[in-house]
Amino acid sequence: MDAAEAIRKELSSLLGAQEELLKLVEDCKNTIAFGTKYQHWYSRAYKLVQSLAPERLAEFSSYYLIDPKRKLTDAGNYVIQDYVKAIGARTDHYDKPIWDVNNLTAIRFLNQVQIISSLSSRVGTVLQDVTGYLFAELQDSELAAASQLKKINLRAAGALAGVVLERHLQRVAENHNLAPSKKSPTIADLNDPLKQAGVYDVPTWRKIQLLADIRNICSHQKNADPTPEQVDELIAGTNAIIKSIF
């Protein structure tokens, strides 16, 4: 099971608990049972909101947490934590509750459920953002290593930079739903389809061609050694491509 599928399964589980929790909150006799199940539900749900929609985390929590600045409890600021603590409604002159704690708790819970329900559309985007960030971090690290390696071995430095460029172009092709003809495409195999699909222009295509030629000298042509200038160009050119082509 991949990450997206696991998250969607957890969302489905949280939404599936809605009916049981709403049933328990209908009667104050079930306060302990509701509190036990709800606390577990809230902890799981909190983590998902925090990860998928952090901008809504404060709203999500506000339906549960008692406002520390609250001076007097009323129907407008009564929250789920009050109910779980068995705090009832204030009463009027006839000793009747001013508000229905069961109804208000159910409404607060349904507000949280609606937030959870809205998260399903965010799963793919958030994971893509995280993956893209980690991928970019890895690329920068590898190019920095190539720059250091250049002082020791020009071929190895150029080969490493070439791998970064090749892997990035493979990712670009995936982003644009392009399927290379080969199972393990090279830079040259990816360059033409990306240009033809309009992902980048002719000058960029020519630049990548040149970088591919330098990479081949570093990785394959044993009869010709790469120059320091060529390796510098490969590293700098790769850095420019990964920062501008997506």
What mean pLDDT do residues 174-187 have? 85
Separation between Cα atoms, residue 40 and residue 171, nearest integer Å: 39
- Residue 115: pLDDT band (50, 70, 90) is very high
Q: What percent of the chain has pLDDT over 70?
A: 94
What is the reported pLDDT for 121?
Answer: 77
The answer on pLDDT for 231 being more than 90 is: yes
Q: What percent of the chain has pLDDT over 90?
A: 66
At 118-138, the pLDDT tens digits run 888 777 676 666 556 567 778
What is the reported pLDDT for 133?
Answer: 56
DSSP 97: B
DSSP of 107-174: HHHHHHHHHHHHGGGGHHHHHHHHHHHHHHHHHHHHHHHHHHHTTT-HHHHHHHHHHHHHHHHHHHHH
What mean pLDDT do residues 140-150 have? 92
State if pTM tops 0.75. no
What is the reported pLDDT for 92?
Answer: 83
The answer on pLDDT for 1 being more than 60 is: no
What is the reported pLDDT for 129?
Answer: 61
> Would you state the torsion angle of the CA atoms of residues 159, 160, 161, 166, taken in this order, to the nearest 10 degrees?
80
Q: Are 201 and 131 in contact (CB under 8 A)?
A: no
What is the reported pLDDT for 30?
Answer: 94
Separation between Cα atoms, residue 127 and residue 8, nearest integer Å: 12
What mean pLDDT do residues 64-84 have? 94
At 9-61, the pLDDT tens digits run 889 999 999 999 999 999 999 999 999 999 999 999 998 888 888 899 999 99
Of 99, 61, 58, the C-alpha closest to 80 is 61
Geometric angle at alpha carbon 52, from 48 and 53, rounded to 5°: 105
* Residue 125, number of CB atoms within 10 A of its CB: 10
Q: Which residues contact 176 (CB under 8 A, 6 or more apart)?
A: 194, 197, 199
